Amino acid sequence: MTREIIGNERTGENYVRIKHDSGLEILIWKMPGFSLKHAIFGTRYGSVNTTFKTEDDTDFVTVPEGIAHYLEHKLFENEDTDVFDLYAQTGAFGNAYTTFDKTCYLFSCTDNFIPSLKILLKFVQEPYFTEETVAKEQGIIGQEIKMYDDTPDWRVFFGLLECIYHRNPVRINTAGTVESIAQITPELLYRCYYSFYDLHNMTLAIAGDVDEEEILKACDELLVRKDDKKLISVVPEEPEEVAKHYAEESLEIAVPMFSYGFKSKPVADEELSAESALGEITLSLLADETSPLYKELYDSGLINSQLYTEMFSGNGFFVPIISGESRSPKTVRELVDKEIERRKTVGFEKERFENIKKAYYGNLIKTLGNAEGLATLMINAGLGHTGSAFASIDAVAKISMDDVMRFLSERLDTANSSLFVINPKEAV
């Protein structure tokens, strides 16, 4: 077992990184005097990891879309009890989530931290799948998928990804489709579990007023030591150009919704925090409520009071996005494109740049006083191979106007963009 302190001169904060003998990376951020404690046990396994192999496999296998999310649901049930009943006995609040590139199990509590931690470590390492329980879950998740398909915010987001990507699995709902989850079997779940839920592929992140020795004692007791399976997961090769420049559909909404994104080259793990933060700041400069673009769109009645910007980025995908509601989405696109090209020439005002950068930096610093936020920073760093939980803070502090101009030029290619629109259904 190895132990090191990860510190940051800029903030004066630090946390402990331990490489356990089992292969698990353990990250502990001690917060003396804080009552809330938060723990996250995660694996590098998300919806994009549908094609993979380990050293035990002769060739790659491709599994149904949505199986990572499905496995997350099923892991909460074992042969004789439900995990939430166990958490209820310790007073902890448990939950889990599956994203495009990770699955995480978590809990928060004020008391009984070690008993709650033991529940987490134990159930995540004890899969139990049967034909009966798998079939039961197919109906439940099938209804969840149908609900998402009828949710405008969800559909406008995935509609955009379907326009941007040809083959990358991010274009598919993280829960899969009704057709794909119907192909899931206990055998497939076990194969995915034993491939990805390998402690060498996982991280445990803990923040709060906790005792490191007690945590390691629980880990020594419950972590199952196994050899590294040398997992390899691949994503289909993706063309540089978007799949479609425009698409639309109709749902029961009052005003058309749009999502406008720019297809950009994926970023290496160690550069992801910096490039994503740079993207957030650049998009804010371009289109937040203090921007000339926002004022033009709002004053002309092309948008309502909301215009959203976000960076959709991760392992194998990178898309700057602008979204909102408009009765003329194509006109909004034209004006956004015009402003992007103008800014590539004239740049942005230095004062606005400094103000937006300071506000973004301040929001990151606020996270340092929150156990859940700190545990999330650490799990994202651990599973994402981004270096340290301080990566975003350091990156923002170093961002310059030259960086913004580079981002504009390299990442906001108006010729390689997609617009997806949801229109109101016409009355019959």
What DSSP assignment string belongs to 49-105? Answer: --EEE-TT-SS-EE--TTHHHHHHHHHTB-SS-BHHHHHHHHT-EEEEEE-SS-EEE
CB atoms within 10 A of CB 367: 15
CA 92 from chain centre, in angstroms, equals: 24
The C-alpha atoms of residue 428 and residue 425 are separated, in whole angstroms, by 9
CB atoms within 10 A of CB 294: 19
Looking from the CA of 31 toward its CB, the CA atoms found within 13 Å total 20
State yes or no: is 72 an active-site residue: yes
Residues in the chain, total: 428
The C-alpha atoms of residue 91 and residue 94 are separated, in whole angstroms, by 10
What DSSP assignment string belongs to 374-405? Answer: HHHHHHHHHHHT-S-TTHHHHHHHH--HHHHH
CA 16 from chain centre, in angstroms, equals: 23
CA 135 from chain centre, in angstroms, equals: 28
Instruction: Calculate the alpha carbon distances from 28 to 108, 206, 208, 269, 414 in Å.
Output: 15, 5, 8, 22, 43
Q: What is the largest CA-CA distance in the chain?
A: 68
Which residues are 29's β-sheet partners?
Answer: 207
The C-alpha atoms of residue 276 and residue 257 are separated, in whole angstroms, by 25
Which position among 4, 9, 55, 72 bears the catalytic label? 72
The dihedrals phi and psi of 424, each to the nearest 5 degrees, come to -65, 140
Sheet with 232-234, strands from edge to edge, namely 61-62, 51-53, 232-234
Catalytic residue numbers, as ranges: 72
